[in-house]
């Protein structure tokens, strides 16, 4: 999927676009995961090889702006947030698009107000089978501007195939997330389905499968997260795992391996494929690629990390989770959160609350003359490059080194010129 999307120019940026273009031209097969470095003297900003808009997000944005361009005289609605980035959603609202629901499903505009001539854009996360039917019953053409990510649809299609083969669908995801709600709806149309959030819940599920926990407690334990009529005695004999595409790919893999081994041990089979479906082909390449690039960024070493993205972005929160294991990490939605080198406002991904931290930047390292301070930067799949650009520029400005950014970009310009020869 290497097609180019028609994305509004204001989402692009000089710094990040220069870096990304140079890296792309010099590494056509995207195998070099080493970070890009902006050398500002005693400060080094290291930027992850892959981050920002993925295929599904660019596809969604292109469709949304095309809908605006093609229908200047029609009412245009978004089912809920286009993607989990406030800047993108606010721009669409400023152009006249109205949201029908919040991300949790709370109604903002009654569906009874919709008319057949209205346009309703389905967001990148997709929506439930029931919602598609509801909109279509009102005369809305849901497929005209359907921005559902192709990789999300791939999970839906794979779930249907598994259901036809008699497998129960285990969904690794956050039960209240729009994408997981949509995937659960599509999966349960084809097969018994269950949502689990993490490895801890996978182990709990394994205890029910293996008999270490009595099945009588299953329905209460997973209440609200299984399909109607779910029979654990019957429906946990053959399973397949799919995921919310923004979850940690490594965790989905670990959950799959754990459940496969649990099934094989409990049913004493050397061929677990009879009872466990291989679903590795449903993992989103962009989520995996961004996470692998972050691992490489962390391996390069750093003193502090800044992750940019919407505060309700699942994939961004997972990048933060990975970074926090190794160094001080600050999750910001834009450059305005970085008040100064003494104060930063950021989301605590564990509490879900925005907080302010003082003395966050390790500038004492400058005075200690112990080598450059290394600032690691990455961003979620729904974050425009322009926001990352502004964070980098703002940070360089606070450090009094903004005038060195142009020089820091020279190696990338030379790399691009060399690759184009």
Question: What are the residue numbers of the active site?
Answer: 179
Residue 247 has phi, psi (to 5 degrees) of -75, 165
If one counts every other C-beta atom within 10 angstroms of the C-beta of residue 310, the result is 24
Q: How far is CA 392 from CA 43, 152, 286, 355, 383, in A?
A: 12, 32, 23, 21, 14
**Cα end-to-end span (Å), the chain:** 25
Torsion angle (degrees, nearest 10) of CA 109, 112, 118, 121: 50
CA distance 349 to 316: 10
Residues 6+ away with beta carbon under 8 Å from 217:
208
Strand segments, DSSP code E, in 189-238 are 193-196
Residue 294 has phi, psi (to 5 degrees) of -70, -40
Place of tokens 């407690």: 217
Facing residues of 315 across strands? none
Question: Which of 37, 189, 191 lies closest to 128 in space, CA to CA?
Answer: 189
Cβ distance 298 to 59 under 8 Å? no
Environment class of 25 (CB within 10 Å of its CB; exposed 0-12, middle 13-18, buried 19+): middle
What are the strands of the beta sheet with 304-308, ordered from one edge? 36-39, 43-47, 373-379, 304-308, 329-332, 343-348, 353-358
3-state secondary structure at position 365 = helix
DSSP annotation of 9:
G
């Amino acid at each position: 999927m290497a097609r180019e999307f028609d994305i509004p120019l204001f989402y692009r940026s000089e710094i990040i676009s220069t870096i990304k273009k140079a890296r792309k031209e010099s590494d056509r097969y995207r195998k070099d995961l080493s970070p890009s470095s902006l050398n500002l003297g005693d400060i080094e900003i290291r930027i992850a090889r892959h981050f920002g808009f993925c295929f599904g997000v660019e596809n969604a944005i292109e469709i949304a702006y095309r809908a605006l361009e093609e229908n200047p005289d029609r009412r245009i609605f978004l089912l809920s947030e286009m993607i989990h980035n406030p800047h993108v959603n606010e721009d669409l609202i400023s152009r006249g698009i109205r949201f029908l629901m919040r991300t949790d499903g709370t109604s903002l505009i009654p569906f009874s107000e919709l008319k057949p001539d209205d346009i309703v854009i389905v967001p990148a996360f997709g929506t439930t089978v029931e919602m598609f039917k509801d909109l279509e019953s009102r005369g809305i053409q849901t497929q005209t501007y359907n921005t559902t990510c192709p990789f999300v649809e791939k999970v839906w299609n794979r779930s249907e195939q598994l259901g036809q083969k008699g497998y129960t669908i285990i969904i690794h995801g956050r039960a209240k997330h729009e994408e997981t709600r949509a995937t659960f709806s599509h999966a349960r149309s084809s097969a018994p389905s269950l949502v689990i959030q993490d490895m801890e819940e996978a182990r709990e599920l394994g205890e029910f499968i293996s008999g270490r926990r009595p099945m009588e407690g299953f329905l209460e334990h997973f209440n609200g997260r299984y399909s109607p009529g779910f029979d654990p005695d019957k429906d946990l004999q053959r399973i397949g795992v799919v995921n919310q595409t923004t979850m940690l790919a490594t965790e989905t893999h670990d959950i799959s391996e754990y459940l496969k081994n649990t099934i094989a041990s409990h049913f004493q089979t050397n061929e677990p494929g009879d009872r466990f479906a291989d679903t590795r082909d449903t993992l989103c390449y962009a989520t995996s690629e961004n996470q692998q690039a972050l691992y490489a960024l962390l391996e390069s070493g750093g003193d502090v990390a800044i992750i940019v993205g919407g505060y309700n972005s699942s994939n961004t929160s997972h990048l933060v989770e990975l970074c926090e294991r190794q160094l001080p990490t600050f999750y910001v939605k834009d450059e305005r959160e970085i008040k100064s080198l003494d104060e930063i406002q950021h989301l605590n991904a564990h509490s879900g609350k925005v907080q302010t931290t003082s003395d966050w930047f390790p500038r004492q390292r400058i005075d200690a003359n112990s080598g450059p301070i290394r600032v690691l930067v990455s961003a979620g799949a729904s974050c425009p490059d322009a926001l990352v650009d502004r964070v980098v520029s703002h940070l360089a400005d606070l450090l009094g080194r903004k005038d060195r950014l142009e020089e820091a970009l020279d190696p990338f310009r030379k790399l691009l010129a060399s690759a184009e020869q």
